[in-house]
Structure 1
Amino acid sequence: MKQNEFTPKFFSLLRSGISKQQISRDILAGIIVGIVALPLAIAFAIASGVSPEKGLITAIIGGLIVSVLGGSRVQIGGPTGAFIVIVYAIVHDHGVDGLTIATFMAGFLILGMGFAKLGNYLRFIPYPLIVGFTSGIALIIFSSQIKDFLGLPIQNLPPDFVDKWLVYGDYMGQINWTAFAIALATVLLSLNFHRISKKIPGSIVVILLSTAVVYFFKLPVETIESKFGEIPNKISMPSVPGIDFATIKLLIQPAIAIALLGSIESLLSAVVADGMIGGRHRSNMELVAQGASNIFSGLFGGIPVTGAIARTATNIKNGGRTPIAGIVHALVLLLIMLLLAPVAKLIPLSCLAGILVVVAWHMGEWHHFFSMMKSNRMDVLVLLTSFFLTVFFDLIIAIEIGMILSSFIFMKRMSEATSIETTGNLLDPKAENEGALFEEELTGIPKNVLIYEINGPLFFGASQKFQEVITDLNKQPEILILRMRYVPFIDATGINRLKEMCTQLLSKGTTIIISGANHEVKHELLKAQLYTIIDKHNILSNINDALERSKHLIAEKEDTRI
């Protein structure tokens, strides 16, 4: 284990030293990211079905812990759009208290994943699966914002995608055109304000403008205050949620969903950040930090925390290169909550809806989605399956089914990559050309000796092919040499099929010789006690020794016959 694997990046950088110039750049980046995070934290909380201060609490507590304990130099933690789907469903089914407990439980799950070093394996989640559920989440976020975007007077909005649009259809005659104009202006300004200034976030400008216009002109649109009342300007004391075994059983699936999605998105964000700064994050330490941030978010009544790709990118683009920027971002949000809560309550909900529509647009990465539609049909199958399951059913189901489907596709491709070739001495004339690739390496193959070369892993996906090829022999040779120089590994199923085949052939008078197995494969064969079926002297390191051994065995048989 590397000594620094579980050392936070912040501590490593403090030991190595941070220049005053970099500290100045980090402080400026942290202030900018804190301002950018303000409307997002509020919007994500409202879209998730909880009060706006919970989003701020999550960004403050989670952002601070992720930066202090994380394995990335530049990761910004907080609430994200990806969690809207899960959080909204949990609040709908179990209430806000259920969400707090699920977040608390998920924190320990992520913590365990980090200490178990599972961060090294989450990177193997297939890209089509990630694009599929991410695009599905983006579509659901867009769908959830139509009510406030159009100012529709809907009291209880159903959580299901199809049901939402059916309800929208019933209310389309009651659009609040003022709210719609604010939301549309928010989208246009947010998408295009970078043409005016790349330093000032467009979302902040549009919030300030829309809030001022609505307040001074008394426009008839819903605001945070009209829906949620006052935004508290303090953080309540932490309290441990009441958890018993019945509660764990009830909320374990939502907690697993939070843990899986939080882990995946955090490490994805860290990987993206590495590419932007040329760094390398510590994946397991990042999971430990994310787990701790979710535990403390739950203690303070917040919502799930994860790495935020957009805010992390904003941090990097503004010069942030150390966790100091993330710490400053959390402190800026704390000051805003303490001092400006009376102003923040005046923000119109249609403006926040417009911001989330922009978030959904960027999150969807539709150019990747449609470009992948032209790729391998198996990848397209995983992409569309995870997308439609996310939209119409449930995110955790989409991830589970997507992973299972991806695993089966991988096994199929690996089994197809495993080939079994034979020499021209094979009695089936169709196989003669297949053996030509390695037959020319050999001279003096004795009569009645058959050589099979296995190329690729001999695992459970390919073992059936192996058994079928061997058992399809028209005539049993005296000696069968299995050349295994290109077998990187063999699993329990492959060993079992090999033992069955050896037992069957030996009963018919065929001697088995294994040639060229690497150290790992040979170790597995010996550990499985294959030598009780095959003589130890028949497990050889190269083909020449195997041929010499076959000549010796044939000579012994001839002497016996004489």
Structure 2
Amino acid sequence: MKIVRYVTSLLPSWADYRSVKRTWRGDLLAGVTVGIVALPLALAFGVSSGAGAEAGLITAIVAGLVAAVFGGSNIQVSGPTGAMVVVLGPIVAAHGVGAVAVVSVMAGVVVLVAGAAKLGRVVSYIPWPVIEGFTLGIAVIIFLQQVPAAVGSRPGPSSNAFVAAVQSFGQVSRATVVWPLAVVVLVAAIMVIAPRIHKQLPGSIIAIVLVSVGASLLGLPLAEIGALPASLPAPGLPDIDAALLQQLIAPALTVAALAAIESLLSARVAASISDTGPYDADRELVGQGLASVASGFFGGMPATGAIARTAVNLRSGGRTRLAAITHSAVLLALVYLATGVISQVPLAALSGVLMVTAFRMISLSTVRAVVGSTRSDAIVFVITAIVTVSVDLIVAVGIGIAVAAFFALRALARSGGVHREELASPSQPGDEHIALFRLDGALFFGAADRVLERVTSVHNVTVVILRMSQLQVLDATGARVITEMVHALERRGVTVLIKGIQPGHLTVATRVGVIASLRHQKHLFTTLPAAVEHARSHVARDASTPTQRVSSSDGD
């Protein structure tokens, strides 16, 4: 029965469309709007990845539909994205265009398995500065990838986007560079001005239509998208051979990690800014995995949730999955009705669209907030962004998380400490020979040695009371240090009393040996007055027998 409920929780249900009766008009309008906005992006991302405009369209249609039906978000719109383009470029360069569909299927299976294994909540452990640094790095790479087309040259041979952009200037022709640059500037200007005239104006599609018509009428020497199929290809398994499969394992894992991270982040943001209900992270992974597999069967690219298109969906009134389904239907209609016109769109126009998109991915207010928060967060943000641009996206996330973890552990270690306290009044003779230490915060591997040194360095005392009721975190290393601390003090003839071990820490303290290290089981106390009274009795006995230590009745 549990298995049935588990499987059912990851599959579509009629509950997904419960509110369609109330929202269908807004959903249809939003779907049409998103479809129009998604068209130039799908074409541009397909071209920029090296897989071609056709692959971008197929991905937006097929993956967009599958993710909308099977995904865990009511409002998310999926398809090709800039982050995925950044990863796919080197794969196309190394293994050819045919490898894209294979990687899409392989990565989709990995994401599907991750969703079935209930790993969807893992993304919540990625720190905010890492996410923002990652986003900034992607935006920079997307912009740099458009530089060659914007100046009418071919990309340089380097796999690094910055180096390739610089290398492309060596191939620029003065006779032809003016027109593509003019197109990029015109497209950017229209995309910036259109929303200021009316928020619902699709600046990208308006810019592409105007530029394409103008270039055709004037006969400008601009490279175009080229021929596109007038229908979707028949689905089928991509060509796979064992050698290629083995070579694509690492790239597929990278693509899968990126697809999972970007999709879950996008779904989480969409849920936080809308009233369409929460998202199911595990089901979202299942949906995105199926979407990439389906896209690969049709010759498309890996897909992810797209926050830009999702935001347009929300702003346009979309509230259910019907909006994302309609978006795919609109794009499918354009494939069957307008591929001849679409094939004449200048590549420079698509570059202009992506350059503006890259700029819009960067929020200056967010950058200022991250950099101005704490120095450690600023360092994590900058390192993640730099590694994203210079090395690799997934490596950047890993390094960013590692650096953030280092700073978090350092802060946690600093929160843990040991403080010597005065005994409660009224004081009694011999109190100077009793040391009361309060352990605070976290006692784990990052702070243990400091605490050990502080307590064991105490002198001229007969009894040490360790007050542990304020200790919030205790791991095996911390418990081992307390054990060593007790042994070290007892070897010097100092009696150790422990007060207030929390129930949550008692298991690890017992198993590691803290309790066993005490001279007697009665040296474990639940209240401070009882521990202090016992300590004073020790001091009094030692004072009455200065030449010989007398064993007490409790075995001290």
TM-score between both structures, scaled by the size of structure 2 = 0.89
Amino acid at match of 1:514: I
Q: Deviations over 1:52-94 (max 9, x none)?
A: 1111111122211221122211111111111221111121122
For the residue of structure 2 that corresponds to 1:145, the secondary structure is helix
- Provide the residue aligned with 2:167 in structure 1: 167
Separation of aligned partners in 2, 1:310 and 1:446: 68
| Residue of 456, 481, 495 corresponding to 1:497 | 481
Gaps of 5+ in 1: 426-438
Q: Counterpart in 1 of 2:85?
A: 84
Alignment-derived partner of residue 432 in structure 1: none
From 272, 286, 295, the equivalent of 1:275 is: 272
Give the deviation of 1:12 after TM superposition: 6.2
Mapping for residues 323-334 of structure 1, pairs under 5 Å: 323-334=321-332
How big is the shift at 1:35? 1.5
Partners in 2 of 1:150 and 1:537 — Cα distance?
A: 82
Partner of 2:372: 374
Match of 1:561 among 537, 541, 550: 550
Q: Are 1:542 and 2:524 counterparts?
A: no
In structure 2, give the amino acid aligned to 1:64: L
Per the alignment, in what secondary structure is the counterpart of residue 263 of structure 1?
Answer: helix
Query: 1:456 and 1:366, CA in 2 relative to 1: closer, same or farther beyond 3 A?
Result: same
The offset of 1:555, in angstroms, is 6.7
Report deviation, 1:243: 6.2
Deviation at 1:169, TM superposition (A): 3.0
SS at match of 1:346: coil
| 1:305-342 Cα deviation digits (max 9, x unpaired) | 11101100111111111111111111222222222222
- CA distance in 2 between partners of 1:218 and 1:145 (Å): 23
Which residue of structure 2 lines up, in the alignment, with residue 130 of structure 1?
A: 131
What residue identity is the alignment partner of 1:358? V
Q: Is the CA contact 1:10–1:73 (under 8 Å) kept in the aligned structure 2?
A: no
Residue 204 in 1 paired to residue 205 in 2? yes
Q: Using the alignment, how far apart are the partners of 2:122 and 2:215 within structure 1?
A: 50
Partner of 2:15: 13
Asked whether the 8 Å contact 2:184–2:348 carries over to 1, the reply is yes
CA contact (8 A) 2:86 2:142 kept: yes
- Per-residue displacement from partner, 1:473-511 (whole Å, max 9, x unpaired)? 234x33322212222221122122222222222222233
- d(CA) in 2 for partners of 1:89, 1:472: 58
What secondary structure sits across from 1:488 in the alignment? Answer: strand
Q: 1:186 to 1:161 in 2, by over 3 A?
A: same
Separation of aligned partners in 2, 1:253 and 1:164: 23
CA contact (8 A) 1:149 1:350 kept: yes
The 1:170/1:367 distance shift into structure 2, 3 A limit, reads: farther
Shift of 1:9: 9.1
Distance 1:502 1:135, change over 3 A: same
Contact conserved, 2:480 with 2:513, CA < 8 A, in 1?
A: no
Amino acid at match of 1:168: S
Alignment of 1:512-531 (within 5 A): 512-531=496-515
Quote the residue 1:341 is aligned against: 339
Partner of residue 554, structure 2: none
More displaced, 216-225 or 111-120?
A: 111-120
Q: Structure 2 CA distance, aligned partners of 1:446 and 1:50?
A: 80
Give the letter for the 2:137 counterpart. G
Looking at structure 1, the residues matched to 54 and 431 of structure 2 have their Cα atoms a distance apart, in angstroms, of: 82
Q: Which residue type is aligned with residue 390 of structure 2?
A: F
SS in 2 for 1:481: strand
Shift of residue 211, structure 1, vs aligned partner? 2.0
Is the aligned partner of 1:469 residue 2:454? yes
1:315 aligned residue (313, 316, 320): 313
Indicate if the aligned counterparts of 1:420 and 1:454 stay in contact, CA closer than 8 A. yes
SS where residue 277 of structure 1 aligns?
coil
Q: Distance in 2 between matches of 1:181 and 1:336?
A: 27
Query: Is the 1:52–1:231 Cα contact (8 Å) retained in structure 2?
Result: no
1:285-313 CA distance string (max 9 Å, x none) = 22222222223223332212111011001
Change (3 A) 1:121 1:482: farther
Relative to 1, partners in 2 of residues 1:98 and 1:510: Cα closer, same or farther, differing over 3 Å?
A: farther
TM-score with structure 1 length normalisation? 0.89
Is residue 10–residue 322 contact of structure 1 (8 Å, CA) maintained in 2?
Answer: no
Question: Greater shift after overlay, 183-192 or 255-264?
Answer: 255-264
Q: Measure, in 1, the Cα distance between the counterparts of 2:165 and 2:156.
A: 13
Identify if the C-alpha distance between structure 1 residues 468 and 293 changes in structure 2 by more than 3 Å, giving closer, same or farther.
Answer: farther
CA distance in 2, matches of 1:373, 1:112: 37
Give the paired residue count: 541
Q: 2:463 aligns with which of 472, 476, 479?
A: 479
What letter corresponds to residue 314 of structure 1 in structure 2?
V
Q: 1:60 to 1:417 in 2, by over 3 A?
A: same
Match of 2:262 among 265, 272, 282: 265
**Aligned sequence identity (%):** 33
- Measured after TM superposition, the shift of residue 8 of structure 1 is 5.7
Q: Which residue of 2 aligns with 1:433?
A: none
Q: Mean alpha-carbon deviation: is it higher for 143-152 or for 505-514?
A: 505-514
1:31-430 equivalences in 2 (<5 Å) = 31-152=32-153, 154=154, 157-174=157-174, 175-225=176-226, 229-231=227-229, 233-239=231-237, 242=240, 244=242, 250-278=247-275, 279-424=277-422
* Distance in 2 (alpha carbons) for counterparts of 1:61 and 1:465: 58
Kindly state the Cα deviation for residue 261 of structure 1 after the two structures are TM-superposed.
Answer: 2.2
- Call closer, same or farther: CA 1:528–1:108 in 2, change over 3 Å: farther
| Corresponding residue of 2:437 | 452
Structure 2: state its 5+ residue gaps: 552-556
Work out the CA distance in 1 between the residues paired with 2:464 and 2:375. 39
Offset from partner CA, 1:329-367 (integer Å, 9 cap, x none): 112222222222222111111110110001100112234
C-alpha distance in structure 1 between counterparts of 2:290 and 2:320, whole Å? 20
> CA 1:237/1:52 → structure 2, altered by over 3 Å: closer, same or farther?
same
Compute the displacement of 1:392 (Å). 1.9
**Pairwise CA distance, 1:453:** 0.8
Q: CA RMSD in A?
A: 2.8
Cα distance change on mapping 1:216 and 1:172 into 2, 3 Å: closer
Structure 1 residue 272, shift from structure 2 partner: 1.8
Confirm or deny: 8 A CA contact 1:241 1:299 kept in the other structure: no
Residue 258 of structure 1 deviates from its aligned partner by: 1.7
C-alpha offsets along residues 164-193 of structure 1, whole Å, 9 cap, x if unaligned?
Answer: 233233234434322222221111111110
Query: 1:119-145: per-residue Cα shift (whole Å, max 9, x none)?
Result: 323122122222212111111111111
Question: Does structure 1 conserve the Cα–Cα contact (< 8 Å) formed by 2:225 and 2:345?
Answer: yes
1:136/1:364 contact within 8 Å kept? no
1:369 Cα shift? 2.3
Q: Which amino acid aligns with 2:213?
A: A
Question: Whole-Å Cα distance in 2 between the matches of residues 424 and 119 of structure 1?
Answer: 50
The Cα shift of 1:247 comes to 5.0
Q: Is the 8 A contact 1:183 1:354 kept in 2?
A: yes
Distance of 1:109 and 1:462 partners within structure 2: 39
Q: Distance in 1 between matches of 2:314 and 2:11?
A: 16
Q: Which 10-residue stretch deviates more, 78-87 or 391-400?
A: 391-400
Report the AA paired with residue 30 of structure 2.
A
With over 3 angstroms needed to count, the CA separation of the structure-2 counterparts of 1:551 and 1:318, relative to structure 1, is same
| Contact 1:9/1:71 (8 A) holds in 2 | no
Report if the CA contact (8 A) 2:143-2:358 is conserved: yes
